[in-house]
A = this chain, B = another copy of it.
Amino acid sequence: MNVFQLKRLLLGQPLSNQMIVHEKITKKKALAVLSSDALSSVAYATEEILIPLAAFSVAAVAWSIPIAMAIGALLLILTNSYRQTIDAYPGGGGAYIVAKENLGVRAGLVAGGALLIDYVLTVAVSVAAGVENIASAIPYLREHKEAAGLLVICLLTLFNLRGVRESATIFAIPTYFFIFSFLVLIGSGAYQLAVGGSPQGVNLIHETYTTIPLLLAVRSFASGCSALTGVEAISNGIPMFREPSQKNAKTTLVYMALILGAFFLGITILAHMYGIVPREGETAISSLARSVFGDSFFYYMIQVSTALILVLAANTAYAGFPRLASLLAKDRFLPRQMAVLGDRLVFSNGILGLSLVAAFLIVMFEGDTHHLIPLYAVGVFLSFTLSQAGMVRYHLREREPKWFQSLIFNGLGAITTFIVLIVVAVFRFSHGAWMVVLLIPAMVLFFTRIHKHYLTVAKELSLVGQNPPGKLTPLKHTVIIPISGIHRGVLDALRYGMSISNDVRACYVELDPEATERLKGEWTKWANEIPLVVLKSPYRSVITPLIHYINDISTITKDDLITVVIPEFVTARWWHQFLHNQTALFIRTALLFNRGKVITSVRYHLRES
């Protein structure tokens, strides 16, 4: 089996262009497909709030509830803002498009860079958190978090390279399973508290809030903002909805926000009531589920459903990243290879790029969610801010009906997310946000450099403004054929040389004068028509004298071109090729940046050896 057959086995047969179809789905299914990223943050956001508080004091943990409420309020503002975006961009208003159209290309590139980083982090964080939840239930995995994370990324890559049609039904299962599981968890927890029969029976209620430093509360808030990642997904996916698609998308967005808010607040309150304190090797969700259910079936159900929705969230990035990369590539801000639709109708290069960077992050941060999350929020809130600010400019310009109300909503969104952005960047700067703060301008620079390169190339190659020649004329060229002796392959090359030019010279580098004499004898017998040039080589290099000769001829003849015809032989088995001198390769490399040279190999195919 060769590598092509292996590819077909793993990825399936190529798909024809006619296979591109657009499935229109109901609100229920759309909720499942588009909200996994947002909902999955319930799995880690509460814990992120608790960690700084618990590190300060046990009593400080009580502050998690007001902080979660503040984040809930932020969710309301965001939801309302994105309802405006849905109205304005029925074709899907990603931050890149909204920022580029309303705030200019540079703002668009900042948003694009932030989003690309976010997609990568969605994969890394979701996979790491998914593995951590399973590892909470199966301690063996704790030692192998990185390996498990890399395995999940490999499977996601393969799955997405195959480009399985996004069957909404399949995606609906884990999402609704998650919603069901967490309803059971929150319901059971609340019921146990209500009847006073908590299995732990400790620390259930702190009525008083101890005084904590304001900065601690802000830091805790900044950590918890990771709950809001993925909220924008529905506004990007409007074309997926059945008609009236905008109305349906807005309704779905509200449902999603309500579920997310309720789960996040519910889990945070329960975690507090049950006295859950973050600890090494077990997630807060796992601790809570264990407190509520003990080591029962329901405990494992919670862990499995959490892991599943996290993997699903990671999978959404595999749709978003390649699509955004292809948009950037079509606008010539990324290498054009990113815009090439592979034979399975997916942007294969984007998928591979995403996997590689996410895998690198998993390895670099040892598969630890807490180390990855601080990098996350900066990009998310930067794209929120740019998107909302873009909407403000949009309303001011377009003045559509009810524009003023929308302006107020988006303005509020822009200001709030901007403040959160600053908070997140400052308070999580030393935990890793600095990387993103440095990376985004670097990416924008990278985008603009690529853009400039493509523009210059297009200009240099362009025929615009030039006059057609009337008639194409052939070029004048001399053929030089380097040889190391005379054999069948050389004769083929000589005959080929004769067929492409009238000025053909064979060229022999002398390493041993006796061999030259023998060659000259053979030459008159076999190839007397073609002049044989013998070059001396004091340093035993074959390449150097040849290159000198080629350059000399090029100067003397003043031809348009020199064609170097290299007789090569191709062995029947590819690894036999290593037994032969790679002279052709060396000549090619030596002349690579040399203008006016065409290098041609005439290959003699060996039969069996």
Binding site for B on A (CB under 8 A): 14-18, 335-337, 340-343, 450, 452-454, 456-457, 460-463, 468-469, 471-477, 486-489, 491-492, 494-496, 498-501, 522, 525-527, 529-530, 538-541, 561, 563, 569-571, 576, 578-581, 592-593, 595, 598-609
Contacts and interface: CB of A to CB of B under 8 A. Distances in A.
Contact of A541 (B335, B343, B495): B343
Contact of A487 (B343, B456, B462): B462
Contacts of A525: 468
Nearest to A499: B474
A499 B571 CA distance: 31
B461 A604 contact: yes
A487 B461 contact: yes
Contacts of A538: 16-18
Contacts of A600: 563, 598-600
A572 to B, nearest CB: 9
Contacts of A450: 579
Contacts of A452: 609
B343 A16 contact: no
A491 B15 CA distance: 34
6 contacts: A336-B579, A343-B540, A461-B604, A463-B491, A473-B495, A496-B561
A563 B600 CA distance: 10
Nearest to A588: B601
A94 to B, nearest CB: 24
9 tightest A-B contacts by CB?
A456-B609, A474-B499, A461-B487, A500-B500, A14-B539, A474-B498, A600-B600, A16-B538, A475-B499
Contacts of A578: 335
A336 B463 CA distance: 49
B595 A605 contact: yes
Contact of A463 (B17, B488, B602, B609): B488
Contacts of A475: 492, 495-496, 498-499
Given A463-B526, A472-B495, A576 B606 contact: no
A570 B592 contact: yes
A305 B603 CA distance: 57
B569 A461 contact: yes
A469 B468 CA distance: 45
Contacts of A581: 336-337, 340
A474 B495 contact: yes
A106 to B, nearest CB: 21
A457 B601 contact: no
A322 to B, nearest CB: 15
A366 B456 CA distance: 54
A462 B485 CA distance: 11
Given A457-B606, A476-B499, A14 B541 contact: yes
Nearest to A600: B600
Contact of A453 (B16, B343, B501, B576): B576
A343 B511 CA distance: 13
A580 B496 contact: no
A510 B14 CA distance: 17
Which of A495, A592, A595 counts the most chain B CB atoms within 10 A? A495
Given A474-B498, A570-B593, A343 B539 contact: yes
A16 to B, nearest CB: 5
A599 B598 contact: no
